[in-house]
Amino acid sequence: MQTVLNLLEAEPIRLFLSFGVILFLVLNLAGILTFAERKVAAYIQLRYGPNRVGPRGFLQPAADVVKLFTKENVSPQRSDLWIFLGAPIAMFLPAAAVWLVVPFAPRSVVADLNVGIVFFIALTSIGALGLIMAGYGSRSTFSLLGAMRGAAQMISYEVPLILSLLGVIMLAGSLSFQDVVNAQAGGFWNWYFLPQLPMFITFYIAGVAEARRVPFDLPEGESEIVGGFMVEYSGMTWGLIQASEFASMALVSAITATLFLGGWQPPFPFLDLGNFNWLWFAIKTALIIFTFQWIRWSLPRLRMDQLMDFGWKVLVPVCLIWLFVTAGAMLAFPSVF
């Protein structure tokens, strides 16, 4: 038994296994989140939502996946097939891979990289590539418009996203997620959302934009460009894009929880659950996902120029100002930090 465990702990095997577990988790998460999304939407809209497949509709995601797998993959006749089919993969893999550095509990993290935050930033930027591939490969005006919007949006909102992380990095003095979480130990008054409130809000908004959710779902723009970059996709390629959307939403929520809400740290020291602290992490992530869904079903969509204005004229200045405030405070009162 011990030898088997030791074998599993050996480096390449552990990494492969962990990645398998993460992939399993993310794919299931996408299914669970579609169900959650539809239920939340239904309750906001005074209806029941899916309640026919399985007990209380819990098997609906499974039925959806079966449907998607049995559907034919239709590609436009003049599309660039390699780019067209590669796009969903290029979108899904980065969204799944970032989960490798997310700390779930004190000892549960696949790779506690000392540059974890940089890894996160780098991989989320790659998501924009898949989006452009999808829009370009489909050879449709609607897709192209969606892809151009998506590229502009994701690159613009990367700036406030990164800037809002800098405060946390400065306070924690580390680029590793696990260090940031450890620095927030000892109750919710030590979590970074309090000293970094403007940064927290900015990160949250930029995160909504990165996950391409309402009110920033311009690349999809259901009512004007009918799905935007994914208008030509069908069957499982569409399913994979959808899965990556949900995975990146969950990811942004998880990162928000990790950096600003103490990750797996319990809100009060006496509620420490040891290795089961992943429960706190899950609760926090789920709450943030719920707020995403709440916003999604309540607000209309912004327009491209308004989106850019908001990003560059509001979020970036707020970040820069608070960055200076944080730096100044750290210089003035070195004993506190």
Partner 1 sequence: MLGEERKTEETTLSQPVSGRLANPDIRDEFGLETIDMNMGPQHPAMHGLLRLILELDGETVVRCDPVMGYLHRSKEKISENRMYPAVIPITDRIDYMNNMAMEYGYCLAVEKLLDVEIPPRADAIRALMNEFSRIMSHIPSLGFLLLELGAFTPILYAFRERERIQSIMEEVTGARMMFHYIRLGGVKADLPEGMPEKMWEYIEGLENRLQPDFIDLIEGNEIFIARTRGVGKMSPEKAVEMGLTGVPLRCTGVEFDVRKHYPYGWYKNLDFDVVTDDAGDVEASYRCRIGEVRQSIRMIKQILENLPGGEVMGDTGRRIRPAEGDGIARVESARGEYAVHVVSDGSDTPYRVHYRTPCTVNMQLLQEIVPGHYLPDIMPIMGLIDPVSGAWDK
Binding stretches for partner 1 (CB under 8 A): 41, 44-47, 141-142, 144-145, 149, 214-215, 217-218, 221-226, 297-306
Query: CB of 242: closest distance to partner 1 in angstroms?
Result: 17
Query: CB of 30: closest distance to partner 1 in angstroms?
Result: 21
Q: How far is Cα 149 from Cα 231, in angstroms, rounded to an integer?
A: 14
Q: How many CB atoms lie within 10 A of CB 217?
A: 21
Query: CB of 335: closest distance to partner 1 in angstroms?
Result: 42
Could you tell me the two tokens for 57? 């509709």
Query: CB of 44: closest distance to partner 1 in angstroms?
Result: 6
Query: CB of 221: closest distance to partner 1 in angstroms?
Result: 7
DSSP-derived letter for residue 184 is T
Distance of CA 168 to the CA centre of its chain: 18
Nearest residue (CB) to partner 1, 25 versus 144: 144
Q: Three-state DSSP class for 108? A: strand
| Residue 202, Cβ density class (10 Å: 0-12 exposed, 13-18 middle, ≥19 buried) | buried
DSSP-derived letter for residue 104 is -
Nearest residue (CB) to partner 1, 56 versus 303: 303
Nearest residue (CB) to partner 1, 282 versus 304: 304
Q: How many CB atoms lie within 10 A of CB 158?
A: 18
Nearest residue (CB) to partner 1, 40 versus 98: 40
DSSP-derived letter for residue 279 is H
DSSP-derived letter for residue 299 is -
Query: CB of 212: closest distance to partner 1 in angstroms?
Result: 12
Could you tell me the two tokens for 50? 């899916």
Distance of CA 291 to the CA centre of its chain: 13
Nearest residue (CB) to partner 1, 11 versus 78: 78
Distance of CA 88 to the CA centre of its chain: 16
Nearest residue (CB) to partner 1, 118 versus 144: 144
First to last CA, the chain: 46
Nearest residue (CB) to partner 1, 119 versus 310: 310
Query: CB of 88: closest distance to partner 1 in angstroms?
Result: 23
Q: How far is Cα 215 from Cα 75, in angstroms, rounded to an integer?
A: 29
- Per residue, the 3-state secondary structure of 120-145, as one string, reads HHHHHHHHHHHHHHHHHHHCCHHHHH
Nearest residue (CB) to partner 1, 84 versus 216: 216
| Phi, then psi, of 247 in degrees rounded to 5 | -65, -40
Could you tell me the two tokens for 215? 């009110």
Query: CB of 305: closest distance to partner 1 in angstroms?
Result: 7
